[in-house]
Structure 1
Amino acid sequence: MDQYKYIVVEGNIGSGKTSLAKMISQEHDRELILEEFADNTFLPQFYNQPERYAFPLELSFLAARYHQLKKKLTALPLKTFVSDYLFDKSLLFAKVNLKEEEFGLYRTFFELLERDIPKPDLIIYLDKDIAKLQANIEKRGRPFEKDISNTYLENIQIGYEKILSDSGLNVLKINSGELDFVKNESHFKKVINRILTY
């Protein structure tokens, strides 16, 4: 795994990306970068009134991701990293959530910032079907996520597939539907083995 200095674990909402990133960080002594969404005051408002709050939500996430990744990845050049998000996810969620004219403006901001963020050496994409995503979302019980629809998750899933296939980046796709790497150590070892032999 040492050949990958900067690893990103990605996947839909409820796919287990944060859990896996934490486990890889602990097991392989990597600097952990977790998306900081809890302090975003627009997020619960967005789920209640998406049309009103989508644009400020997406801009605030873009700024937060940019500052966090630029600070971490450039300040510690000798470290190895694992993160639970890809900077490009900003564009994916904006495409799903914003109106066309808002997305055009957003894309301009994104392209100005994107050039400063290093690309990951490996993306681990956790693919999971919608029913299992919904089960995980329900299990973790975040109030603002309780009304996420299957259609919304399907649109995010399609967006991930497109952005990753078009990216030209090194993507390891893992079907994680039958894996519980948090509770089952053999499942975690299976994932690590996939990474090591990729």
Structure 2
Amino acid sequence: MHIARTTYLSLGSNLGNKFENLQQAIFLIDEKIGSVAKISSIYKTTSWGFDSDDFYNICVQVSTGLNPENLLKAIHKIELSLGRKRTSEKKYKARTIDIDVLLFDNEVIFSKELIVPHKEMLNRKFVMVPLVEIAPNLMHPIEKQRLQVCLTNCTDKSEIENTYLELKRPICLSEKFNYIAIEGNIGAGKTTLTNMIAEDFNAKVILERFADNPFLPKFYEDNERYAFPLEMSFLADRYQQLSDDLAQFDLFKNFIVSDYYIFKSLIFAQVTLLKEEYFLYRKMFDIMYKEISKPDLYIYLYQETPRLIENIKKRGRDYEQNIAPEYLDKIHSGYTTFIKTEENLKTLIIDVSNKDFVNNPEDYKEIIELIKNVK
């Protein structure tokens, strides 16, 4: 489990398109390090310690699951991707981007690679002015004074100018959604994706308790006999779990993500139950459905049937090994009908047939970007 830590970073640029360099750095920080909570104004200052073009400087507040060592590695990769060329020379040089760790929670760190708080931050107005803008009352871990007071005591006399240019802050998933439900056919990867999102974005996770259902193995052996008790037990359990978990707000989590939505019960019941059984089942479902909180975003993972069969065989659950492709096709048709007719849900369909979001970070990144860009 990631523990979210708050870090403050100083960013500067004085080569090329300085505004664009800072903006791209912000996007990469959000992608590689963590959610960007605050961005200061852009301040223009003269170059420090050498003659060169003026700098654009900002400070940002970031919530990260990285430890200080990995944070520094991620920063160096971002700088490299934006054209920063590091050398062994210690003298100051012009650069496309420069990112420094100023503070990391309330920690004091002295290592060969990293010193926190940054040893020069209190002596530099181009650091302190934007930092105080976004965190005036934060205490300096060593000085034991508010940053606003530290700025007042700063002896740097260089001029600093607010450009009033505004950078775009990436919106975190938790700012857009309180509850995301992820669904898909059997073997589509919905539970895996749910766990990955919960881990990376500090979300409370709700996972279907299918493994505890005693009727499931029996159903795959004798569909007609066990279909009704299976679907009724699933419905009761899903209703109970969602009612309890959605009502319990977790102060230490940012939002909720689940690997199913209760409408799944009706979709599977349509496929498995006889007409008379389904009529009775639908009455019970309609009563429960009215009481369940609706997700802010409903995600359907589409997976081609041959790939579903592959995934089912790989995960090796004995009772699933004889699932027929025709059964999976019927389940998919049920979801398609539901998505077309349910107008009150904000829905995102993602085709993952040719994606491996577990082993390919780019595929996972693409999925996250699709979610973030939902209007």
Q: What TM-score do you get using the length of structure 2 for normalisation?
A: 0.52
Within 5 A, what are the aligned runs for 1:106-145?
A: 106-145=281-320
Deviations 1:77-124 (A, max 9, x none): 765100000110100000100000000000011111111110111011
Tell me what 1:146 maps to.
321
CA contact (8 A) 2:204 2:250 kept: no
Distance in 2 separating the partners of 1:85 and 1:128: 16
The partner residue of 1:48 within 205, 221, 231 is 221
Q: Number of residues paired by the alignment?
A: 198
- Aligned position for 1:187: 363
Return structure 1 stretches of 4+ with deviation > 3 angstroms.
none
Question: Secondary structure of the equivalent of 2:350?
Answer: strand
- Further displaced range: 41-50 or 114-123: 114-123
Aligned residue identity for 2:348: L
Question: What are the residue-to-residue correspondences of 1:58-73 with 2, within 5 Å?
Answer: 58-73=231-246
Looking at CA atoms only, which structure, 1 or 2, has the larger radius of gyration?
2
Residues 113-141 of structure 1, C-alpha deviation per residue, up to 9 Å, x if partnerless? 11111011101111111000000001001
Secondary structure of the structure 2 residue equivalent to 1:69: helix
- Alignment partners' CA distance in 2, 1:77 and 1:180: 31
| 2:356 counterpart SS class | coil
Q: Distance in 1 between matches of 2:279 and 2:234?
A: 17
Q: Secondary structure at the match of 1:38?
A: helix
Separation in 2, partners of 1:126, 1:8: 11
Q: 2:184 corresponds to which letter in structure 1? A: G
Of 101, 119, 122, the match for 2:276: 101
SS in 2 for 1:59: helix
Per-residue CA distance 1:42-62 (angstroms, 9 max, x = gap): 000000000000000000000
Q: Secondary structure at the match of 2:299?
A: strand
2:299 and 2:356 map into 1 onto residues whose CA distance is 16
* Higher strand content, 1 or 2: 2
Amino acid across the alignment from 1:179: K
Is structure 2 residue 247 aligned with structure 1 residue 74?
yes
Corresponding position of 1:155: 330
Shift of 1:76: 1.6
The code of the aligned residue for 2:227 comes to: A
Which 5+ residue runs of structure 2 have no aligned equivalent?
Answer: 1-172
For 1:35 and 1:58, locate their aligned partners in 2 and report how far apart those are by CA, in whole Å.
13
- Secondary structure at 2:294's aligned position in 1? coil
Relative contact order higher in (CA < 8 Å, ≥ 6 apart) = 1
Residues 1:26 and 2:199 aligned together: yes
- AA paired with 2:210? F
Is 1:177–2:375 an aligned residue pair?
no
What secondary structure does 1:173 align onto?
A: strand
Shift in Å at residue 164 of structure 1? Answer: 1.4
Unpaired segments ≥5 residues, structure 1: none
Which deviations, in whole Å up to 9, do the C-alpha atoms of 1:136-173 show, x marking residues without a partner?
A: 00100100000000100000000001111211111111
Q: Secondary structure at the match of 1:182?
A: coil
Maintained 8 Å contact 2:181/2:297: yes
| Alignment RMSD (CA, Å) | 1.0
Question: Cα distance, 1:75 vs. partner?
Answer: 2.1
Q: How far apart, CA to CA, are the structure 1 residues paired with 2:327 and 2:212?
A: 22
Q: Which secondary structure state, in structure 2, belongs to the residue aligned with residue 82 of structure 1?
A: strand
TM-score by length of 1: 0.98
